[in-house]
Amino acid sequence: MTKPSSEIIFLGHCPDRVGLDARITGFFADELFNILDLSQHSERGRFFIRIEGSEEGSPQSIQTWTEKFFPIARELDMAYSFHDPLERLRVVMFCSKTLPCPLEVLSRWLSGEMRIDLRAVVSNHLAIEPIIRKLDLPFYHTPTTGDASLFEPMQIRIIEQHSPDLIVLARYMKILSPHFLGEVRTPIINIHHSFLPSFIGNDPYEQAYRRGVKLIGATAHFVTCDLDEGPIIHQDVVRIGHQFSVPDMKQVGADIEKQVLASALRKFTERKIIQWEGRTVVFH
């Protein structure tokens, strides 16, 4: 059995009302819990809170914390969770032949900068296979030609085998079917380019070039059945000028995509995201 950590992260949200801070922090004070960081937010009658701290007494398990807080959660009608900040979340990464994003994830995993346990890489292209093999990671080539029913069952079995806490689509160039999303209950984070204005379909950079776009951006979001419309986690933009060619724009796009994806993954692993009613509250 894993020894309980003395460090704890608490996330919660409930209907807003007077006295919530006092009620919640009073519970932690009674439990001899030293609050090191507290962030909160209220909107549309909803209260969101994240607390990070350490126990002064003997460490208690996540399950014990969850059970002890339950009476207060029931009183406040609060959705809540406790987490160990030292836990490494199990991750399965999907990618295609575009490599900047998956290589960024690999780099931050290898350096220990990102607290994840990368379990496997799934790809519909062989471009990344030599790198994954050298890292002694399980690699699964799942060609995505034809109907999704021909390849998604294999992908679902891979996910079930590795039991990830998170699936990362690191520029995986295939739309996940409603069946896939219905079978896989694991959170999924995706990254895609975002232009102002937005261009869909083939050759978005060529379209952007023809329109004289001056901003290139990227968006990381949770995946839902609505294509590229899931709750947004992180976004960023870079200004460009008329002198940028299409290859220049693609290079800028690749750079910002990998940075935005890495930031979104870090927020997820640090338990700084709460989803509610189709949007996210992201603590800093």
Contact 89, 117 (CB under 8 A): yes
Residue in 165, 228, 236, 255 annotated catalytic: 228
The DSSP string of 81-117 is EEE-TTPPEEEEEEE-S--HHHHHHHHHHHHTSS-EE
Q: Is 164 helix (H, G, I), strand (E, B) or coil?
A: coil
Q: CA 119, 121, 123: angle at the middle one, nearest 5?
A: 160
Q: What per-residue string of b and e applies to 145-175 under the rule 16 or more CB within 10 Å gives b?
A: eeebeebbeebeebbeebebbbbbbbbbebe
The question of whether 37 is a catalytic residue gets the answer no
Contact 37, 52 (CB under 8 A): yes
Nearest Cα neighbor of 278 from 237, 240, 222 is 222
What is the arrangement of strands in the sheet containing 79-83, beginning at the earlier edge strand? 33-43, 46-55, 7-15, 79-83
Give the whole-angstrom CA distance, residue 260 versus residue 113.
15
CA distances for 125 relative to 118, 138, 151, 172, angstroms = 19, 15, 13, 10
Give the whole-angstrom CA distance, residue 119 versus residue 31.
36
Give the whole-angstrom CA distance, residue 73 versus residue 24.
9
Give the whole-angstrom CA distance, residue 206 versus residue 215.
14
Q: Pull the structure tokens for residue 85.
A: 């900040």
Q: List the catalytic residues.
A: 228
